[in-house]
Each structure stands twice: as structure tokens, then as C-alpha cells.
Chains A and B, each alone.
Chain A
Amino acid sequence: MTTISIQDERRYRRLLFAYPGAYRRRHGDEILTTLFDLADDGNGRLTAGQTLHLVASGLRQRFRVPLRPLTVLAALLATVTLGGFGAVAGNWLAWQSADRVPSPAETSALTSAMAGLPGPSIEQWQTAMNGPGIIATTRGAGTYDPDRVKTALTAAGWHITSFTEAINKIAIGFGTPEETVAPERAAQFTATKDGLTLQGATSTMDGGPWPDMDGGSFGSLDITTDVTGAIVPLTIAGLLLGALTGWLLTAAVSYRMRTASDRMGTASDRMRTVSDRMRTAGSRPRRTAAALSALALTATAVPASVAYCEFYQVMTYDPHASNQYVGYGPHDQIPAYAVLIATALAALSLAAAIRAATHHPEPNLTPISS
């Protein structure tokens, strides 16, 4: 019995960290005794096989949920829900490391310089993959000058990848006796800079039936961050990590619920006289916890469905498609406040469920017989 060295004891204790905390606190010491006994039995040490198997069993214990239909259902729902949240979080994280689109002030200055017009209106938006984008549009009386466009873009550090000029025929007063056609000079262009892509257009009316029509100009820029190689992998990693967390969390909570009611059971065994009271006290928090958990999981259905719509759009997004912007899904119909309220409700009821399940008033164990 004395053949176990301090080092071995430390080593065995470290092995037990493979087990979940609540389980370790409850069973750690007795497992350690059994390990010492086995080591005494052998040559004073555990075999490599025994050690590995213990660690594997400890990790397996973390995944174990009671085989009750409701608990398994809760574990599956938590896995699916947190998987969705994880995907959204992973997607968000991936975009944080991508390049930023220029600020509204920078975009405004570039658009003015390019189009030769003042004060564009700015709108920030997100691609269907949640990548950042910014649009600037401006109108006014100006001139058509492709060199001005090129100079402005180059000065701002953009590398022009395409530049197409055209003379368009614009129908004016369509369907009226004064119907006529006026020419418009236009250019469409694309450019890149670091991890950003720019699509732009500018046009100016050349003449026209009315005096104020000549020189009427339009300019627009749409800048988006390119999809990086990290977006899809990090979104999937987030999904898997979230799903894993969901299962492990349910396993941990259900173990605590179980041992909390076991403690009540043991107490009532010791105290026959109060056993009935103990049992009712033990089952009531359990029912409360189950009801609160059900409420939490129902409420998470709203944000979870939005999360999975987002996930779907990220996975099906085609960065090379001509229209990479819009991806309508059912989640566009769910207002943001509903998602927020449902998430808050889910978080509160889950916290209350865990509290109800694990915080029992300690019974007053004054033995009557002694």
C-alpha cells in the first residue's frame, strides 16, 4: 500500500482531469483508491493501456447523458441550437480578420472625385455572406471625363481591372408626342485594392431636348470585401464547436440534476422520518427545471432558425456570381426585435432551469435516533 510515490499520485490525479468536474468531485477519490490498488497489484504502476483507457473513459463520461427520452431530446436540441449560434459566431469572427471597406468619409471623397459631383449619399450593407459593403451614389450637373475617374481611383490606391465606355441612347418622354432619344456617355468599371473589390459607374447626358438636361450626371461606387479563404472553414468550425458545446453542456447539466436529486434521495434514506418531504422537495425543482428547459429550447427556435438560414446562405454563396448581393430567406421576415426577445427569454429561462436543478436547499440533517 505504500509503494505509490507522491509523483505517481500526482500523475493519477492529473489523469482524472479527463473526467467532468462534477463527476470528479463525486467519484475522484474512490477511483484514485482503485487505481492505487491496481498499481499495488501490478508492479507499482498502471500500465500504459490502463492509463489511456482511463483518459478515454473520462472523456466519454463528459458526453454521457441519461438515457431518458426528454434528456436526449434536450441534448439534441441544444446541440442543434448552439451549432447554429456557433456558425454565426464563427462567420462573424472570420469577417473580423478580413479587410475593412473604406469609411463613409473616404468613400464619399472618392465618389465625388471620380464623378466630379458633390456629396454622394452613402449606404452601408452586408452581402448575403455577411461581408461588409458600402454604396455611394450621387447626381448633379457635371461633365463626362473618363480620365478623371481613372485618376481618382489610382490616386486612392485602386488597381483598375476593367473599364468599358459606351454611348447610350436614352428615351425621353416615352409614349408622349414629344418622345425623343438623347445620347448619354457612360463608363462602367471595376477595380481592386488589397482584399476589396469596387464596382462603379458614371454617366453624363450629352445634349437633350431641354436645356437643363445636358450635363446631367450620375456616379456610383459599390465596394465590398472579398470572400477570404477563412470564411467558410471558420463558419463550419463554429457550427461544430457550438454543437459540441451544446451536447457537453446538456450532459453536464443533466448530471448535476441527477446527482442533486440523488443527494436528496440519500438524505431521505438516512432520515426516514422526513423522507416523504424530501422526495417532494426533490421532484419539484426537477419538474420546474424541466419546464424551464422546455421553455428555453422553444424560445431558442426563433434565433436558431435565423442562424441556420444565415448558415445556409454562407454555404451557398457564390463569390463569382454576377449578383453576389441579395439572398432572401425566411429569416428576412423575422423582425430583429423578435429574435432579441426570444434570445433573452431563452437565456433567462435556461439560467433559471440550471439554478432550479442544481441549487437545492440543504436538508437539515439532525439525526433523531441519536
Chain B
Amino acid sequence: MQEPTFLILTALAEEPSHGYGVIRSVQTLSQGEVVLRPGTLYGALDRLSEQGLVEVDREETVDGRLRRYYRLTSDGAAALSTQVERLRRNAAAAEAGLRRFPNLGVAR
């Protein structure tokens, strides 16, 4: 799972959100490191709904603008959780290895 996908699923895990909301959440979650462009976001949403990891939650029309909200499915939650486990394991391994470099001051 690539980082943008991981972050999109994470954003939707918090609450159902529309396109712009996801872009903002991902930016906040990644502390400004990942800024999704609309093309990437909708490409990812298409792929994720095809895989059944996200689905349409509801639609709202505000000021004549359509907002479609997406939510995480239970499959999506499971996929995200698997990825969290994997990242945690890898991070732990990296951390263990880095103990040989005490000067780095890895956050505990």
C-alpha cells in the first residue's frame, strides 16, 4: 500500500469525508508532507471503491456544488489495520537496529 493510499484510508477512518476534506486531512496527517492533487485523489478513490475498501457515504449539495462523501468499508478498515501492523513491525525493527547509534536520539 502506497503512502497516499494509506493516508486516504486513515483520513476516512476518522470520519466520512468529501474530496477536499480528504485532501486537507491527508495534508494535516502527514504534517504537510503529502499534498494530494485532485487527479491523484480521484484516481485513488476510484481504485479503492473498485476494491471495495471505500464506498459512497452520502451526497450533499451546498450552494449548487455537489459534495460526495466517502466512508471506509469494513474491508477497508481491515486492509488499513493490516498495513498498520506491517508498518509498526517494520518501524520496530528499524528502531531496534538504530539502538546501535545512540547519538541519533530516536524518539521512544
The tally of residues in A whose CB lies under 8 Å from a CB in B reads 27
Which B residue's beta carbon lies closest to that of A52?
A: B39
Produce 1/0 per residue, A252-294, CB < 8 A to B. Answer: 0000001000100010000000000000000000000000000
The interface residues of chain A lying within 8 Å CB-to-CB of B56 are: 266
Q: Is the CB of B19 within 8 A of A34?
A: yes
How far apart sit A262 and B73, CA to CA, in the bound complex (Å)?
14
The interface residues of chain B lying within 8 Å CB-to-CB of A54 are: 37-39
Q: Is the CB of A30 within 8 A of B37?
A: no
The interface residues of chain B lying within 8 Å CB-to-CB of A50 are: 37-38
Q: Is the CB of B23 within 8 A of A57?
A: no
CB distance from A147 to the nearest CB of B (A): 76
Which A residue's beta carbon lies closest to that of B51?
A: A67
| Given A1-B63, A29-B66, A266-B56: A34 in contact with B40 (beta carbons within 8 A) | no
Q: Is the CB of A33 within 8 A of B37?
A: no
How far apart sit A318 and B90, CA to CA, in the bound complex (Å)?
61
**Residues 15-54 of B at the A interface (beta carbon under 8 Å):** 18-20, 23, 37-43, 46-47, 49-50
Task: Tell yes or no: A61 within 8 A of B by CB.
Answer: yes
Within the complex, which residue of B37, B40, B41, B50 is in contact with A66, where a contact is CB–CB below 8 Å?
B50
How far apart sit A53 and B43, CA to CA, in the bound complex (Å)?
11
Task: Tell yes or no: B108 within 8 A of A by CB.
Answer: no
The interface residues of chain B lying within 8 Å CB-to-CB of A66 are: 50
Most buried by B among A31, A36, A53: A31
Task: Tell yes or no: A64 within 8 A of B by CB.
Answer: yes
The interface residues of chain A lying within 8 Å CB-to-CB of B47 are: 64
Q: Is the CB of B66 within 8 A of A57?
A: no
Task: Tell yes or no: A354 within 8 A of B by CB.
Answer: no
Interface size class of B (residues with CB under 8 A): 20 to 34
Q: Is the CB of B20 within 8 A of A57?
A: no
How far apart sit A60 and B38, CA to CA, in the bound complex (Å)?
13
Q: Is the CB of B39 within 8 A of A30?
A: no
How far apart sit A281 and B35, CA to CA, in the bound complex (Å)?
41
How far apart sit A50 and B42, CA to CA, in the bound complex (Å)?
13
Within the complex, which residue of B19, B20, B37, B49 is in contact with A53, where a contact is CB–CB below 8 Å?
B37
| Given A38-B20, A60-B43, A258-B50: A33 in contact with B38 (beta carbons within 8 A) | no
The interface residues of chain B lying within 8 Å CB-to-CB of A356 are: none
| Given A50-B37, A258-B50: A33 in contact with B20 (beta carbons within 8 A) | yes
How far apart sit A23 and B46, CA to CA, in the bound complex (Å)?
9
CB distance from A177 to the nearest CB of B (A): 89
CB distance from A253 to the nearest CB of B (A): 15
Task: Tell yes or no: A145 within 8 A of B by CB.
Answer: no
Within the complex, which residue of A1, A27, A258 is in contact with B42, where a contact is CB–CB below 8 Å?
A27
How far apart sit A29 and B67, CA to CA, in the bound complex (Å)?
8
The interface residues of chain B lying within 8 Å CB-to-CB of A56 are: 39
The interface residues of chain B lying within 8 Å CB-to-CB of A36 are: 65
CB distance from B70 to the nearest CB of A (A): 10
Task: Tell yes or no: B86 within 8 A of A by CB.
Answer: no
How far apart sit A29 and B43, CA to CA, in the bound complex (Å)?
15
Q: Is the CB of B67 within 8 A of A30?
A: yes
**Residues 34-50 of A at the B interface (beta carbon under 8 Å):** 34-38, 49-50
Within the complex, which residue of B19, B49, B50, B63 is in contact with A31, where a contact is CB–CB below 8 Å?
B19
Which B residue's beta carbon lies closest to that of A1?
A: B63
Task: Tell yes or no: B68 within 8 A of A by CB.
Answer: yes
Task: Tell yes or no: A58 within 8 A of B by CB.
Answer: yes
The interface residues of chain A lying within 8 Å CB-to-CB of B38 are: 31, 34-35, 38, 50, 53-54, 57
Q: Is the CB of B23 within 8 A of A53?
A: no
Task: Tell yes or no: A301 within 8 A of B by CB.
Answer: no
CB distance from A180 to the nearest CB of B (A): 86
Which A residue's beta carbon lies closest to that of B40?
A: A57
| Given A30-B67, A66-B50: A57 in contact with B19 (beta carbons within 8 A) | no
**Additional 17 contacts, C-beta under 8 A, given A1-B63, A34-B38:** A27-B42, A29-B65, A30-B66, A31-B19, A31-B42, A32-B66, A33-B19, A34-B19, A34-B42, A36-B65, A53-B39, A56-B39, A57-B40, A57-B43, A61-B46, A64-B47, A266-B56
- Give me the 10 closest cross-chain CB pairs, A-B, nearest first: A57-B39, A34-B19, A37-B20, A29-B66, A33-B65, A30-B68, A54-B39, A53-B37, A53-B39, A34-B20
